[in-house]
Structures are given as structure tokens and as C-alpha cells.
Amino acid sequence: MNKEIGTRYEPNSIEKKWYKFWLEKGYFTPQNDNSRPKYSIVIPPPNITGKIHMGHALNITLQDILTRYKRMNGFKTLWLPGEDHAGIATQTAVEKKIEKEGKKREDLGRKKFLEIVWDWASTYRKTIKQQIMAIGASVDWSRERFTLDEGLSKAVKKVFVSLYKKGLIYKGKYIVNWCPRCKTVLSDEEVEYHEHDGKLYYIKYPFVDGTGEIVIATTRPETMLGDTAVAVSPSDERYKDVVGKEVILPLVGRKIKIIADIHADPKFGTGALKVTPAHDPNDYLIGQRHNLEFINIFNDDMTINENGGKYKGLDRYEAREKIVEDLEKEGFLVKIENLKHSVGHCYRCDTVIEPMLMNQWFVKMEPLAKKAIDAVENEHIKFYPQRWKKVYLNWMYNIRDWCISRQLWWGHRIPIWYCQDCGHINVSEDKVTKCEKCGSTNLRQEEDVLDTWFSSALWPFSTLGWPNETKDLKEFYPTDVLVTGFDIIFFWVARMIMMGYEFMDEKPFSDVYIHQLVRDKFGRKMSKSLGNGIDPIEVIEEYGADPMRFSLSTLAAQGRDIKLDLKHIETSKKFANKIWNATRFVILNLEDFQKQDLDNLNLSDKWILSRLQKTIKNVTHAIENYEFNVAAKEIYNFFWDELCDWYIEISKPRLKTNERSLVQNVLVYVLDNSLKLLHPIMPFITEELWQKLPTSGESITISNWPKVDEEFIDEESERKFSLIMNITKGIRNVKAEINIPQSKKVNITTMVKFTDEEELYIKVLGNVENITFSNIKPEKSASAYVDNNLEVYVELGNMIDIDSEINRLNKKIEKLEKDAEKFRKKLSNKKFLEGAPEDIIEEAREKLETIEGQIEKIKSIINSLQ
């Protein structure tokens, strides 16, 4: 056995070594063993647009915990990795890159531009892979996939053709979200809304018969060039007599009707709404209901087209200024008010989007949604935390058709060929060279590509080899769990469920765990603009992967966002040091180790073995229920508090007695199981240290997960040792409060006799010289422990001046009471309780509880001194 162990924990020296070892041994590739139950996860594929961020690090850490845990439990595990081609984001990034070289994609042509993007993809896929490795992810790299690889392209084409032939894919005019910067359509989920300081313009629309006017209010006066009606609410008494009348559209001169429609809000503006069916989703629906004309006034770069008359060629915002100026000049402008309102932005480039009526390809979603709704309603698929189930179902009940065409070059080109001679639409999985209707070879393929999420929706089964009937597909589909963020429930989760049922006739996964959003320490979303992002790779280089993983795990409470401060990771680094030093202590005391049965145990042995069984039970239950923070805190508390601070301390003198061999075996048994419990969260340090134990095997990665040994659960020993711990804490607390060094030995008086073994523990742990049994409280003593059956006092003698000490402690209470009062006021403030985030309120409660606990302890000491 190699007993050598370094004096310091140095993560950089062990992490790459062990990851290479795991890969070489092939531990991450599922073994060809059909006797084992299977467990599979497909990774949410990171976009190839740059480095992974802390949200990815959290996502990868949580999936790795589950995968390593299941592998240690004997499952045939597959965690399948891959990357997403990220159509809009990647094309935008590459276009920006070539723009710096003075080029545009149109200058290069489609073929040359795509060659550049493929080079980009190759570079960033390698970068992402290295970063995922650095985090310690036990993914099977032999099965790595890419949403544009040959197999997935085949799957995408098959799905498109199948849905088209079923009548579920169609091309039609519809209001879509247009990004003038990316020059493509965005789905509703790809539009982010931000508050803007805007203006509300009140404009007169004169009646054709000259009897007056109706005043409308709008935030976008430039769109009036495409108005084809004015709408008022049917319930609005103010306008009941004007419904059906005609007005003249200012500056344009077109006659348009006043109609009654339920969408008009009597409380907004004047209650009269200008209707521009080609440039507003709600107006589009009004236009359909009332058979209005649809007039598009924009080019795709958001300049005014020929339908804008004299404003043709102006940018949308230039046109706004000019139109407002002309309205005022001609007496149509009534007033302008300031207004805060939400405006849609492109989620990639942050440009303000424009609703546009365009010809696009769509998927009919309602027929696909039924099974996906039933699956979640009946909990064939379960959401964790449960509240996301309702969010998912609300969206599914109100689902709209999905616009799947994107005006890009990077992506899956839509497998449609238009016959230029007869106009027939040819759809095929293979390249079409001849029109199936007229035989013409004069064909043109659709220029648009499919929405990135179209290929991602197939990820759980396309990555396993579908449409081929592969061994992987048979063995690992459906997968067991999806770990992802709440922001892609609609983009991705819902669509995977729908496609899974449509093409596999089976759910894609059983559980959906929605993880937290990682924010900065102030609770703000991490962003480039704020400069508050924390780079996981930089954190790994400074602190190590294990401390970062442990921090993220301890903070991953279900339903609560993570406020990440580097102080958390510093604390986790200290924990890693504690693990290292504790293991080093054990290893250095194993020179003469001989394995023996764990019998003839004393109280402390029985206590630590019983506590270990409870910890195994609690950690196992927590991981099984996706309570990662509970699992991390359970093992932390056991290892640091119970194993290190108590059992190892009490074992030190015993290692010098005839109990040495027993203590060695208990230490090895407890440490072996503790490192295994820690391994899914902290894989590198646990492998390094476990290899040093005399009981270790080939690798902790493939070792067996600890099982609860009921024989070791001993409630009576836990009760007895807990009493000793509480007495010891009381002695230490008295010393701390009255400024006696912990290293100074004291005498204590107890009103109950202890066994010799219990006295030894109290003396060692509390640094006690003598223990006196007496029913009388000693003079000049402070209470260390009191319950119904026992009182323990620390004898102070001449170590302190009692009066001055009581005076000092009273002043300390006064200060603590002031601090407590601040928190009491805050927690009784209704405004604070209603407006503050729950974690801030909980933090205030915890601080108040801590202060009140300190006050009670000091009061107890004062009482005993008096």
C-alpha cells in the first residue's frame, strides 16, 4: 500500500491525472452487461458560441452527481454528451467576426460562409469538451453527438417529411417576430421583454362626413401607415354611435372603418385602437375576425417600403420622428405622454423586434400536445420542483403553432424543393433532382433552415441512433431524467415530450429536474453588461473543481435561485482541506494496520458508526429525490463536525493504547464510506484519497455505494455520546464567553456520576483536569450544562473577577439586544415581508435566532456566576 500523502491539498496536481485515468479505464462507457438495470441521461447540449458559464457548471455538476451515484449503485449508466449548433447565435457570432475583416456573408456565398462556420464549430466544440472535462463530468465521450452531425441530420429530415405528410407542417402567412439585425424570424420564446421609457401619442382620426373625429392612442405612430381600421370595445358606451362610420387616415388619406372588437381596452388611452393587422399579433387576429386588409409597410431591414408613400426609405425610428412632426404640423397630434412599457428584443443580439406578416413554415402543435399534456397531468413525467408542472401545463393548454423556418444559412436546410416549371412542392429525406409531378429538373431548394430547437426536440432519441433501430435506442430510451433550466421549458422540454410521443410512442424521460438560476452575490442575473459573471474555468484554476462543485451543490435548494459568492467556494476549499488533512491523519496512523471485525466497540465507536448509517440513509434519500443541497450538507456535517471534530479527536489518545487496531479499523471503515458518499459531488479528491486506503480497490468511481448496516444503528449510544458532546460544547462556550483560553485546563463539578469511559471523553474533548461529583454548586462557577437530570459547572476559582465579568457580560447582552431589535423591527415590517425575496427574509430570521441564542447562553452564564 502506498501510504505517501502530500501535506497539502493541491487540486491542480490531481484533477487532470484522475480524469485521464477514468477515460483510459473506460469507466464512463456503459459495460455490456444486460443483468444490470439501466440509467441514462442526455446532456442539454451547450451552444457552440463560446465558453460555458456558471449555469452550465451547475447543470453538469448535478447530472454528474446522479450519474456517479447510479454507477456506484450498480446501474448500467449512460450519460451522453453533445453540443448544439445554435443557428442564430452561431451565425451572428461568425458574421460579426468576418465583419471585422470587412466582409459580409453575401460576399462569400453560402458554401464558403458555411466552411468558415464549420471551422468555428470544430474549434468551439473542442473548447466546450475540455471545459466539461475540467468540471469532472463522467460522460461517455465515445458517444458524443452534434445537432448537425450526419445521424442527427438524417433524423431531422425524417421527422420533417413525416410531419409534412401528416399535414402537421404547412407554409402560410402569419404574424412573426422579425429581428432586423439577425434577419430572421424568432419564436415567441426567443423574444425577451424589457421595460422602456416610451411615449404614448394621441392622434385625431377625422370622420369622413366631417362631423368630428375619434382620437386614438399609440406607442408606434409609424405603423399607422399600415392601418386598416379603428377598433373600439363593444361595451364602451362612449363609442356605440360611431361604430360603422369611416375615418380618414391622417397623412395617408385612406378611408378606414370604425369596428367593434373585444380586444379594444376601454381603459387604455382613449379606448380607441388603431388596427395594423400586418404589424401587431393582436391586430392580426382582429384583421382575421373582421376580414380587414393586411398592409405590410416594412422592408426586412426595418426601412419603410413603397406602401409608406413619401416616408419610403426611412428607418422605422426616423419615420416615427418625421410622422410625429407632420402630424403636429397638420393639426392631427393632440398630445404626447410619457409611458413605461414592455418592448420585445431579440434574445441573441438585443435588437428591438418587429412583428411582421410573412410566409413561413409552421408545425401544427395542438395535435401533438395532447399526449404531452396527459403525460404530465398523470405524472408519467414528473417535474421537480412540482410548481413547474403548472407552468408547463399552462403553456401547453394555450399552445400556438410553431414557426420553424429561419432565414439563416447555418442549420438544417429545409428539405423542400420547388419546381420552377409546374410550381409543385417536393418534400423528401433525400436530395430531389426531378419533380415528382412533372419530371422537370428545374428545381430550387428552400433557402431557409429549420429552427435550432427542431433538431434539439429530437435529442433524447436521435442521439441514440434513431431512425435506425440501434442497440443504444433499445437499451437506453426512454432516458431517466432531464436536468435543465426553467428558461427552456417551452423551447425544449415541451417539444422533446411531444416529439418523443409522436415518433417513439413513449416519453423521452421520466423526471424533469428544473435547476436554479445562478446569480451573483447580490441576487442579480449574471451578464456581460454588468460584468458580474463568474467564469467556472477560472474558479477551477484558482480553487479546484471539487470546491466549486461542492459549493454549487450546497446552494442548489429546490425552487430557490443561487446567490454565488466566491466566499462560498473559499469555504468549500477549506472543507476539501479538512477532508485531505483528516485522511492524512488516518493514513499516517496505519503503519501496522491489520483488518479486523468491528466488535468490542466502545461508546464513541458505536456512536460514529451509528451516525454514519444515518448519514448514508439521509444522503441516499436526498440524491434520489434531487435534494442536492441536503445531500451535500448531510455529508459535510457528518465529516467535519462528527468525524473530524469529535471522533478523530477522541481517537488520538486511543491510538496509543491497546485499542489501536480497533480504532484504525473504525477509522478506515468510516473514512471509506464517507469518501464514497462524497464521491459524486467531489470526484477528484475522493479518488486521490480513497486510493490511499488499505481497503481500496481499482477505483472509487466503480466502487459500491455505501449500504446502511442496521446492526450499527444504536440510538442509546447516540443519546449518551450526544450528552457528552453537549457538555463539552458547554465547557468550551463558558471558556469562550469569559475569555479563558481553550487550551487552559479547567475543573468541573457534575451532579451525576459518569462512567470512566465517559469521564475520559469529557476530559479529552473539553480539556478538563478533574471531574468532581457533588450535589452542591461550587462557589465561583459557571453553568456549562443543565437539564432535568444533570447540572455541570466549570469551576472558575480565582481565574476571573466575578463582578467585573458579570458587568462585561451584561454590556455584551445590551449590544446583542440592540442587534436583535433591528431584526425584530425588520421582521415585523409588513412592507419588508411582502416585498423582500424569501431568502432575504429567511436570512433575517436566522440571524435573529442566532443572536437570541447567544443572549440566552450568556444569561445562563451570568445566572450561574451570580
Residue stretches of the annotated binding site: 528
Long-range contacts, 718-723 (Cβ 8 Å, 24+):
718/607, 718/610, 718/611, 720/603, 720/607, 720/758, 721/603, 721/604, 721/606, 721/607, 721/761, 722/607, 723/790
- C-alpha span between 62 and 792 (Å, rounded): 46
As annotated, the binding site for ATP includes 528
Which residue's C-alpha cell is 424569501?
838
- C-alpha span between 394 and 370 (Å, rounded): 13
- C-alpha span between 361 and 347 (Å, rounded): 21
- C-alpha span between 436 and 594 (Å, rounded): 81
* CB proximity list for 471: less than 8 A, separation 6 or greater: none
**99-136 b/e (C-beta count within 10 Å ≥ 16 → b):** eeeeeebeeeeeeebbebbeebbeebbeebbebbbbbb
Strands in 19-131 per DSSP E: 38-42, 76-80, 82-83
List 171's β-bridge partners, or say none.
Answer: 361
CA angle 309, 311, 316 (to 5 degrees): 130
* CB proximity list for 492: less than 8 A, separation 6 or greater: 44, 453, 456, 457, 484
* CB proximity list for 508: less than 8 A, separation 6 or greater: 460, 461, 477, 478, 479, 482, 496, 497, 499, 500
Q: Give which of 693, 515, 683, 686 is closest to 28, Cα–Cα.
A: 683
Characterize the bridge pairing of strands 229-232 and 479-485. Answer: unpaired
**447-474 b/e (C-beta count within 10 Å ≥ 16 → b):** ebbbbbbbbbbbbbbbbbbbbeeeebbe
Q: What is the dihedral of CA 78, 123, 179, 325, to 10 degrees?
A: 140
Identify residue 507 by its one-letter amino acid code: K
C-alpha cell at 768: 478538563
- C-alpha span between 782 and 190 (Å, rounded): 66
- Phi and psi for 824 in degrees, rounded to 5? -60, -45
C-alpha cell at 311: 416616408
- Phi and psi for 222 in degrees, rounded to 5? -65, -25
Q: What is the dihedral of CA 273, 275, 281, 282, to 10 degrees?
A: 40
Sign of CA dihedral 123, 126, 132, 134: negative
Sign of CA dihedral 668, 671, 677, 681: negative
- C-alpha span between 576 and 581 (Å, rounded): 9
**Residues 342/191, Cβ–Cβ less than 8 Å:** no
- C-alpha span between 112 and 819 (Å, rounded): 68
- C-alpha span between 424 and 642 (Å, rounded): 76
- C-alpha span between 343 and 193 (Å, rounded): 5
Characterize the bridge pairing of strands 191-206 and 333-346. Answer: antiparallel
C-alpha cell at 666: 473504525
Listing DSSP states for 271-333 in one string gives: SEEEE-TTS-HHHHHHHHHHT------B-TTSBB-GGGGGGTT-BHHHHHHHHHHHHHHTT-E
10 Å Cβ neighbour count for 817? Answer: 13
Q: What is the 3-state secondary structure (H, E, C) of 787-831?
A: CCCCEEEEECCCCCCHHHHHHHHHHHHHHHHHHHHHHHHHHCCHH
10 Å Cβ neighbour count for 78? Answer: 23
